[in-house]
Each structure stands twice: as C-alpha cells, then as structure tokens.
C-alpha cells in the first residue's frame, strides 16, 4: 500500500480491518442486544432503598450490576469501533448516540448506589461480610466506593448529575466530529512540485519527510486551517474546561485536578513532581535541540524540522509485516505465553491497520470484556509506526491479561498504569533493535529515535500537562478561555521547553486546538509518568530476567484490583517519588552523550 494513498472504508481489505463481528456478528444483532437491554435500568433501580437490607440483597445487587456492566461494555465498544472506522458514517454515529443515551439512562437508574453504599455503617458492612462470604469478591469495590464519601451527593443530586453527563459530553463530541469529519486541508507540494494529501492522519508522517519544502508547506497549511477556526475551537475547549470545573465543584473537590486524580487514587504530588522535575531538566532538552540543528546542518531549527529524521539513514521504510515480526520477537523476553497470545492477535484481527477517509486519527487500544481487545492504527510504514504498533499491543496485552485474571468488575485498569505497559513494550523493542547492530550509523539512528521518544513522550506530554493545568487554573480564576489567551500560553510553553536553539514559529500557538486528549481532562501526564516507569521496568526485565518478568506479569494481570501506586510497586517501581522521572531524564542525558560521540565518528 502506498503511503500517500488514502482509501475509502469500502476499499479496505478485510484482513486489514478489525473483527468487530467477534462482539456482535451483525449490526442487527447489536440492535437486538440493545433492545434486550432496555429492562436493565429498571432492574437495577428496583434495588433502590434496599442495599442495606441484608447481606444477600447487597450481594444480589452487586452480582447483577456486574453482569449488566459486562453487557453494557460490549454494546458501547461495538458502536465506538464502528463510528471510528468512518466518522462521517451517519448510521454508525446514530448507533453510538443511541448507546450513549442508554448508558446515561443506566447511570441515572444507578444513582442511588453511591449514597446507599456510603450510608451503610462500618459495623453493618463487617457483619455482612461475616454473613455472606460471596461479598468478599466485592470488598475492593465497596471500599473504593466508600472512600468517595465526601463526594457522594444526595440521591436527587446524583440523578441530576447523571442526566447532565449526556450534555457534558457535547464539547468532546463536537470537537471530534469537527476535527475528524468536517475539517479539510489543502493538498501540499514538495520541492519538486509533487502533491500530497494533507489530513489529520497524514500530517505527522509528512512532517517526518526529508523534503524541507514539503514539511514547511504542510506545517503552514495545517495550522493555517486550524487558525481559521480558532474561535470555534477555543469555544469548544472553554466549554470542556467549564464542564470539568462544574463537575468538580458539584462533587465538592477542591479543584478539577483533584477530581481527576482522587477517584483513581493517584496523589496530586505525582502530577506536580512530574512538571517540577521535567522543568529542572529543560537544559537537557535545549541541548538535544542544539544537537539536532547541528546534525541537520541548519542555520535555524524551526518547529517544522523537529519531527524530521535528523539522520539521512533514518528514512528506512518499515513494512507492516516487518514491524509485526520484530515486535513479536522483541517481546519474547516476556515469556512464551505472552508471545503466543501476541502472535494470535494478528491472526484473530485485533487491529484496524491503515488509514481511510473519515477514520479517526491517531491510535488506541480498547479492551472488551469477554472478547479480545481491539487496536486502531493508522500505519504509515515508518519506524514510528512500528513503535506505535508495539505501544498499542502493550495496551492490548494489558487488557487481555487483566480480563483473563480478574472478574469483570476489576478487569479495567486505570489510565495511570495503562501507559506503563504500552511504553514498556516500546522500550523492549528499542533494546531488541539496538542489541542487533554494532553499526555506528544504525545505532545512531536508533538512539536518536529513542531520544525522540523522550522528547515527544516525557518532555512534550509534560508540556501539554502543564498547559492543561494552567488552562484549568485560568478558568477557575474566572477567566474565559479564548483563542488569544490559549495561544499566548501555549506559545510561551513551547519557547520554554524547546529553548534558544529552536525558532518557535508563531503558528505552533494554535497546536492545542488539534489535540483530542485535552477532552479527557488530566490524561496526558500519564504518558510521561508511564514512560518513566516503563524505562525502569524494561531495564529490570532485561537485567534480572525471570523474577522481574514474573512481577511484571502480575502487574499486567492486576486490573484495578488495588490502587495504581501499589500495583506498580508489585512490578518494582515507586511512582510516589520523583525518582523514576529523574532516572529517566538521567538516561536521556547519557543518550545525548552517546549520540554526540557516534556522530563525531
């Protein structure tokens, strides 16, 4: 498949598309399952006022709630996958809308749960555990629910907030539809006049090309389109931030950050430690930008130069078949069973491989209880796409192992630990590739790629996390987020992070407007913390072997059976301290030293 060819969804080969039929064989079967689920809200609502009635009643409710949650998850995942295949497909968007309405109804019907669980006294709950051994399965769930006591409202208030969830989803829905389906970009030309289609999916691959004219044209055209809609996009993001502040205040959290971190048991210090530690290490980033400028032979390093390979030997095409084989082999260090399941993921069509018109941009992995995970890709046959494959399969294997080792009520891991598994796969792939070459040029290419992972994952995601925190703080202070103040804030952050060796072009000020993760509040920092933890874990796996692998697989199998900080301690990393971030940044500095030496040869 040619990299510049973007197909219609109908033109995709079935073997390159995910097997959504493994959830429901047809759309009609999904519709029937949704219809059969219509009684679920009333069924759960029938337990209202009864959760403290007896141990048996509480167990019956929790058991049925878990079963219904399992079915609801399948209904939603199917519609999400179908709508993401082609975001302009009105039928699939309508299915997703129907499913979301059902989920809101289900959530509203369960609004009594939080208040009633909190109202049960410790003495009564202890007696229930003694009377009904089956409740032991749900001890973690009950304990976590009761930790939220300060943020559980009255039944009427809970019902109101549950109903508001559908309205609260509007900013994200508007952004995603506008960004993926409605925004179009002019074709761009290279130095020879050859034309290339420009899309959200193709932008980064164009920015990686060696042709500087193509990169500059793509950069200016891409962000020029975003600038033409900057007020609309600022209004959407302002609404998203206001929504986050509203729900945080309604639930009596001290801030939007606290409302995002407390429910997943991540201390706020983790967030602040990350930003502070990376800030202290910005001189290393500035030094790397200087090395990049020198290696590329540029008098000025612009923002459209930072994704291009700074080494000519780096422009190797990596076909999907090669990426597949190397990822499978690299994960052999995690044991035969892990590798066997990984191989089967390709045969069972867990993934949707190539871009098509209207397809959601980027990449993700999605678990589905009782079915194998699903992976969305937009593969471009580059080294970066190979690492994206390893990354998303890390997520998928995490989902697979948690689903096979935890009951469905505990099989979904929180986002904080999710990025650890995916990035550990990337680190293991890097070490696998480095171990197989002594050639200075090839090693320089790989080390430079590794340095780029530090830049894009540890430094860049921390910069985005800092922007997100500043935006919420600005809004909390009573300011309206506008295109003007968002651009000003984002431009200054880029100047701080990229430093004096980089010409921070004015157009980059609008980049915040294209980032979908900003519509999942306080999400992006987890890429940076996950990267830091993954560096520590991959190092331990390669150094210690079987004992480290055993601990790591326990972590991957843990789901949300305990808090994320404790889960990572099982694997051998303590994220409650800045040590993993500091250690990763020390490695970043030493890799810069090595690359400088290789380039001098």
Per-residue pLDDT at 314: 64
Would you say residue 154 has pLDDT above 90?
A: no
Would you say residue 3 has pLDDT above 60?
A: no
Taking every pair of Cα atoms in the chain, the longest distance, rounded to a whole number of angstroms, is 79
* Between 303 and 586, residue with greater pLDDT: 303
Per-residue pLDDT at 2: 45
- Name the strand (E) or helix (H) holding 526: helix 525-544
Q: How far apart are CA 541 and CA 338, in angstroms?
A: 14
CB 76 within 8 Å of CB 98:
no
Tokens 């915040």 belong to 512
Pairing verdict, β 371-376 and 351-352 = parallel
Per-residue pLDDT at 545: 96
Q: Is position 53 annotated as part of the catalytic site?
A: no
Would you say residue 516 has pLDDT above 80?
A: yes
Would you say residue 5 has pLDDT above 80?
A: no
Per-residue pLDDT at 347: 96
> Which whole number is the average pLDDT over 416-426?
91
CB 367 within 8 Å of CB 373:
yes
Per-residue pLDDT at 4: 54
> Which whole number is the average pLDDT over 439-445?
87
Tokens 């709950």 belong to 125
> Which whole number is the average pLDDT over 175-194?
93
Per-chain mean pLDDT for the chain: 94
- Helix then strand count (H, E) for the chain reads 26, 7
Per-residue pLDDT at 576: 87
Name the active-site residue from 208, 355, 386, 392. 392
| Predicted confidence band of residue 1 (pLDDT cuts 50, 70, 90) | very low
Task: Please report the sign of the dihedral spanned by the C-alpha atoms of residue 157, residue 159, residue 163, residue 165.
Answer: positive
Name, in order, each residue with C-beta under 8 angstroms of 337's C-beta and a sequence gap of 6 or more.
none
Task: Please report the sign of the dihedral spanned by the C-alpha atoms of residue 55, residue 58, residue 62, residue 65.
Answer: positive
Per-residue pLDDT at 535: 92
Structure tokens at 333: 């260090």
CB 531 within 8 Å of CB 419:
yes
The domains found in the chain, sorted by start residue, are 11-168 (1.20.140.70), 184-348+382-601 (1.10.1370.20)
Would you say residue 348 has pLDDT above 90?
A: yes
| Predicted confidence band of residue 578 (pLDDT cuts 50, 70, 90) | very high
Q: What is the DSSP string of 319-354?
A: -HHHHHHHHHHHGGGG-HHHHHHHHHHHHTT-EE-S
| Predicted confidence band of residue 65 (pLDDT cuts 50, 70, 90) | very high
Identify the weakest region by mean pLDDT among 251-255, 368-372, 472-476: 368-372
Q: How far apart are CA 301 and CA 215, in angstroms?
A: 12
CB 16 within 8 Å of CB 349:
no
Give which of 152, 145, 124 is closest to 52, Cα–Cα.
124
Tens of pLDDT along 274-325? 999 999 999 999 999 999 999 999 999 999 999 988 887 766 789 999 999 9
């Amino acid at each position: 498949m040619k990299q510049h060819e973007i197909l219609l969804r109908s033109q995709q080969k079935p073997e390159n598309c995910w097997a959504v039929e493994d959830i429901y064989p047809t759309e009609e079967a999904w519709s029937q399952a949704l219809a059969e689920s219509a009684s679920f809200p009333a069924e759960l609502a029938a337990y209202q006022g009864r959760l403290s009635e007896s141990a048996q009643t509480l167990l019956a409710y929790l058991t049925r709630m878990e079963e219904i949650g399992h079915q609801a998850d399948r209904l939603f995942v199917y519609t999400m996958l179908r709508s993401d295949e082609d975001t302009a497909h009105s039928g699939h968007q309508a299915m997703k809308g129907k499913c979301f309405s059902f989920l809101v109804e289900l959530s509203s019907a369960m609004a009594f749960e939080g208040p009633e669980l909190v109202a049960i006294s410790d003495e009564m709950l202890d007696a229930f555990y003694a009377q009904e051994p089956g409740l032991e399965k749900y001890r973690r769930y009950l304990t976590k629910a009761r930790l939220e006591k300060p943020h559980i409202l009255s039944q009427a208030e809970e019902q109101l907030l549950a109903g508001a969830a559908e309205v609260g989803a509007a900013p994200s829905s508007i952004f995603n539809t506008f960004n993926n389906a409605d925004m179009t970009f002019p074709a761009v030309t290279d130095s020879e006049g050859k034309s290339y289609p420009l899309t959200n999916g193709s932008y980064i691959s164009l920015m990686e090309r060696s042709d500087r004219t193509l990169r500059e044209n793509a950069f200016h055209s891409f962000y020029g389109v975003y600038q033409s809609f900057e007020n609309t996009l600022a209004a959407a993001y302002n609404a998203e931030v206001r929504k986050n502040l509203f729900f945080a205040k309604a639930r009596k959290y001290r801030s939007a950050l606290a409302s995002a971190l407390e429910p997943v048991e991540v201390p706020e210090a983790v967030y602040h430690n990350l930003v502070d530690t990376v800030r202290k290490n910005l001189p290393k980033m500035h030094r790397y930008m200087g090395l990049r400028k020198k290696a590329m032979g540029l008098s000025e390093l612009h923002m459209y130069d930072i994704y291009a390979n700074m080494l000519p030997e780096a422009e190797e095409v990596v076909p999907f078949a090669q990426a597949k084989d190397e990822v499978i082999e690299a994960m052999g260090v995690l044991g035969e069973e892990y590798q066997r399941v990984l191989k089967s993921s390709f045969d069972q069509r867990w993934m949707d491989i190539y871009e098509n018109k209207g397809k959601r941009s980027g990449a993700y992995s999605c678990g589905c209880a009782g079915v194998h995970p699903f992976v969305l890709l937009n593969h471009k046959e580059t080294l970066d796409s190979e690492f994206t494959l390893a990354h998303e399969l890390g997520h998928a294997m995490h989902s697979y192992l948690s689903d096979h080792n935890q009951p469905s009520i505990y099989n979904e891991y929180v986002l904080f630990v999710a990025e650890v598994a995916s990035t550990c796969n990337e680190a293991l792939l890097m070490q696998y590739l480095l171990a197989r070459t002594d050639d200075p040029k090839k090693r320089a290419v790989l080390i430079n790629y590794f340095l780029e992972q530090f830049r894009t994952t540890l430094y860049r995601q921390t910069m985005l996390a800092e922007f997100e925190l500043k935006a919420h703080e600005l809004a909390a202070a009573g300011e309206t987020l506008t295109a003007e103040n968002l651009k000003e804030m984002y431009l200054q952050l880029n100047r701080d992070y990229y430093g004096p060796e980089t010409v921070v072009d004015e157009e980059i000020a609008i980049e915040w407007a294209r980032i979908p993760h900003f519509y999942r509040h306080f999400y992006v920092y987890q890429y940076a913390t996950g990267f830091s933890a993954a560096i520590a874990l991959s190092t331990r796996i390669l150094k210690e072997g079987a004992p480290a692998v055993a601990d790591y697989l326990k972590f991957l199998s843990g789901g949300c059976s305990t808090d994320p900080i404790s889960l990572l301690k099982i694997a051998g990393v303590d994220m409650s301290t800045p040590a993993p971030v500091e250690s990763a940044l020390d490695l970043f500095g030493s890799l810069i030293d090595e690359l400088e030496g290789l380039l001098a040869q």
